[in-house]
């Protein structure tokens, strides 16, 4: 029976501390007594708060008793084998054994941090985690003014539900309303993208109060105008009803059916008019009346309703022209209210009417200008180019701003983001060269992290650039070995029969699994021993050599497992398989010969790598 796991929590702190310049923050600490082994273990959770990816970290742990007297110091506690991106937490499951049984409280002191690029940061001044990054709820601070903040968020398309914390602005850093730590030189939040200066202004109570007062004043003005318009509409409706009644009475008197129906028809018509039955009866017999009703709807601003009625009238008087005019006038109203996109779409739908096509382009340019003001430069550029307005003043400014943003991303080592922006600009300055360089760096970092799928895809995009063709040739065998691996984590499986079990020496079968994320598993199927996992870990294949990979001392180390002698395509000696790989045995060290692995390669080309 397995021994029951017994642990006692001695102390736990959920905190969020930092000190200026530190690449990591301290999120929580825990001290736990493992009664199974009779030892105390310390745990901590950290967060990467800098742009570079963290590979390893070193800390000292200062131990205190219950009276806060120092009883011990554990030096050089290493966190290793990580690939921690910005704003990602780590270290939670890494235990450090505490020697002194008197320990009831610990303090983690950061010593150094090493990034995947090899850069090392050191805490030379021995600073301690002391600056609290805990934020109050923004709703508690703003109270009744929070509604105004929500409206301001909508103006820049910011998700207010994610901006729930009261921001903080200091000399060395600033905390966004989304809870993210940003450096003092960052103008936009690295997570939600909200501009720092906008945030400063829109959490200022005086600013929010003024905006709120102005909003309430505008609402009152709108209500007053609406009430006045409603009064005018009622008076106009009364006058229209009076005129329609007179017109109906004249029509009845002139009707050719007067003799046939005698005095009945006038009574019916008057009843229909007075009783609201116009559309159900008289209107359908009198196009002029329907036309006047449609014009009334148009004059009231009910353009959709008016358009439907004019469409029913077809070629009566100028009804066909009015169908277009309803859309045209509604588009003008949209444009006047600032809804340039909606206006443009309407003008485009009637592009052959009057100057609608020109008005469509004008409103699209205004919409692009509006996107520019919201710092949505890529969307703005797409619209300028779509309508052929690349001479617009803000078009060049948009390209310039994207270029600067890409340069900033590249400097911060946000290479993927920088690549996307440079690539979007294409022929602007040297954007394509910068894009290729960024993608080259992305592919290199992915390959170093053994993220083979993405690395290969990006290298393929860069064929002909620098030494990319040579790099692709280096991993040609690797590409085939994992081609059948699934993006969902399913492995590419290779089998070798007629081999010996390394445990019992009997005939067995090897099963090799390779995954896109750089992990592998070597197993053996043996009749006497069953299914055995012999070796698993991370791997790479270069120049027909299979390596075992592991993180050690902050670096990736490689150990040779096997030489790949031959890769034979279109094999005919193994049914259901299309490739045979001949390699030295990476499982059984006593086997001095070679083994033959059979598998399937998913590819349009199966050129022998011999």
Q: Are residues 143 and 128 in the same domain?
A: no
- 102 and 192 inside one domain: no
> What is the structure's pLDDT at 50?
92
User: pLDDT of 395-436, one tens digit each?
Assistant: 999 999 999 999 999 998 999 999 999 999 988 999 999 999
Q: Given 342, 373, 404, which residue is the final one in a domain?
A: 373
Please tell me the predicted confidence (pLDDT) of residue 277. Answer: 43
- Would you state the pLDDT for residue 247? 67
pLDDT tens digits, residue range 54-72? 999 999 999 998 888 899 9
Say whether both 13 and 142 belong to one domain: no
Span 70-76, average pLDDT: 93
379 in any annotated domain: no
Q: How far apart are CA 411 and CA 187, in angstroms?
A: 14
Question: Which range marks the domain in which residue 177 is found?
Answer: 138-203
* 97 and 151 fall within a common domain: no
pLDDT band for 250, please (50, 70, 90 cuts): low
281 and 398 housed in the same domain: no
> Residue written as tokens 């934020």?
135
| 3-state DSSP of 75-102 | EEEEECCCCECCCCEECCCCCEEECCCC
Residue 485 shares a structural domain with residue 595:
yes
The number of folded domains in the chain is 5
Instruction: Give the model's pLDDT for residue 194.
Output: 93
Does 184 reside within a domain?
yes
Clarify whether residues 293 and 362 are in a common domain.
yes
pLDDT for the residue numbered 19:
93
- Report pTM: 0.49
Query: Are both 167 and 181 inside the same structural domain?
Result: yes
Segment 272-329, tens digit of pLDDT: 444 444 444 444 447 888 899 999 999 999 999 999 999 999 888 889 999 999 999 9
- In a shared domain, residues 33 and 124: yes
In angstroms, rounded to a whole number, what is the distance separating the alpha carbons of residues 358 and 364? 10
For residue 340, what are the contacts with CB-CB under 8 A and spacing of at least 6?
334, 363, 364, 366, 367, 370
Confidence of residue 599 (pLDDT cuts 50, 70, 90): confident
Q: Residue 106: in which H helix or E strand, if any?
A: strand 105-115
Confidence grade of residue 254 (pLDDT, cut at 50, 70, 90): low
Q: Which of 323, 340, 373 is the last residue of a domain?
A: 373
C-alpha 250 chain-centroid distance? 68
Number of CB atoms found within 10 A of residue 153's CB: 20
Structure confidence by residue, pLDDT tens digits, 170-214: 988 999 999 999 998 899 999 999 999 999 998 888 888 887 787
Q: Check residue 158 and report its DSSP letter.
A: -
Two structure tokens written together for 155: 């103006």
Q: Are residues 101 and 166 in the same domain?
A: no
Do 144 and 111 share a structural domain?
no
Q: Decide the pairing of beta strands 39-48 and 507-514.
A: unpaired
The reply to whether 417 falls in a domain is yes
pLDDT at position 224 = 78
Q: Which residue has the higher pLDDT, 243 or 39?
A: 39
Residue-wise pLDDT tens digits, 444-456: 998 888 888 889 8
Are 488 and 539 in a shared domain?
Answer: yes
Confidence label for 241 from pLDDT (cuts 50, 70 and 90): low
Write down which residue in 99, 132, 165 finishes a domain: 132
């Amino acid at each position: 029976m397995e021994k029951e796991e017994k642990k006692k929590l001695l102390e736990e702190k959920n905190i969020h501390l930092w000190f200026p310049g530190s690449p990591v923050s301290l999120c929580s600490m825990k001290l736990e007594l493992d009664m199974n082994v009779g030892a105390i273990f310390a745990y901590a959770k950290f967060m990467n708060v800098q742009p570079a990816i963290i590979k390893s970290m070193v800390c000292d742990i200062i131990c205190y008793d219950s009276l806060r007297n120092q009883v011990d110091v554990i030096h050089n506690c290493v966190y290793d084998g990580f690939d921690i991106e910005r704003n990602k937490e780590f270290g939670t499951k890494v235990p450090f054994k505490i020697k002194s049984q008197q320990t009831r409280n610990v303090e983690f002191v950061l010593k150094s941090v090493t990034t995947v690029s090899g850069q090392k940061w050191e805490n030379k001044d021995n600073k301690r985690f002391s600056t609290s990054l805990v934020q109050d709820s923004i709703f508690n601070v703003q109270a009744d003014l929070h509604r105004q903040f929500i409206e301001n968020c909508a103006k820049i398309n910011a998700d207010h539900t994610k901006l729930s914390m009261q921001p903080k602005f200091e000399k060395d850093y600033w905390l966004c309303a989304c809870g993210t730590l940003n450096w003092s030189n960052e103008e936009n939040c690295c997570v939600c993208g909200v501009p720092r200066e906008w945030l400063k202004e829109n959490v200022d109570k005086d600013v929010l109060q003024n905006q709120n007062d102005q909003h309430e004043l505008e609402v009152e003005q709108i209500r007053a105008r609406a009430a006045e318009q409603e009064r005018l509409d009622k008076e106009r409706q009364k006058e229209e009803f009076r005129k329609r009644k007179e017109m109906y009475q004249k029509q009845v008197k002139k009707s050719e059916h007067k003799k046939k129906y005698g005095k009945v028809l006038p009574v019916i018509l008057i009843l229909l008019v007075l009783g609201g039955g116009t559309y159900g009866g008289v209107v359908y017999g009198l196009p002029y009346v329907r036309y006047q009703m449609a014009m009334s709807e148009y004059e009231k601003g009910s353009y959709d309703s008016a358009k439907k009625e004019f469409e029913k009238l077809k070629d009566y008087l100028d009804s066909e022209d009015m169908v277009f005019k309803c859309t045209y006038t509604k588009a003008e109203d949209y444009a006047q209210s600032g809804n340039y996109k909606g206006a443009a779409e309407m003008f485009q739908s009637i592009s052959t009417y009057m100057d609608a096509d020109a008005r469509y382009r004008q409103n699209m340019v205004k919409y692009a200008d509006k996107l520019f003001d919201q710092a949505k430069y890529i969307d703005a550029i797409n619209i300028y180019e779509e309508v052929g307005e690349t001479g617009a003043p803000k078009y060049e400014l948009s390209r310039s701003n994207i270029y600067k943003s890409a340069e900033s991303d590249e400097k911060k080592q946000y290479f993927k983001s920088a690549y996307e922006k440079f690539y979007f600009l294409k022929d602007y300055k040297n954007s394509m060269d910068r894009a290729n360089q960024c993608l080259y760096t992305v592919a290199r970092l992915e390959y170093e992290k053994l993220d083979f799928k993405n690395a290969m895809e990006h290298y393929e995009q860069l064929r002909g650039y620098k030494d990319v063709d040579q790099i692709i040739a280096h991993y040609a065998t690797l590409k085939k070995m994992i081609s059948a691996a699934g993006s969902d984590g399913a492995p590419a499986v290779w089998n070798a029969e007629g081999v010996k079990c390394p445990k019992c020496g009997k005939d067995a079968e090897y099963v090799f699994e390779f995954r896109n994320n750089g992990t592998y598993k070597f197993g053996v199927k043996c009749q006497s021993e069953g299914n055995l996992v012999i070796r698993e870990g991370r791997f790479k294949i270069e120049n027909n050599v299979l390596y075992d990979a592991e993180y050690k001392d902050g670096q990736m180390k490689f150990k040779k497992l096997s030489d790949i002698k031959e890769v034979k395509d279109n094999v005919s000696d193994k049914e259901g398989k299309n490739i045979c790989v001949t390699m030295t045995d990476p499982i059984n060290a006593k086997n001095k010969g070679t083994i033959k692995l059979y598998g399937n390669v998913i590819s349009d080309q199966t050129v022998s790598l011999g």
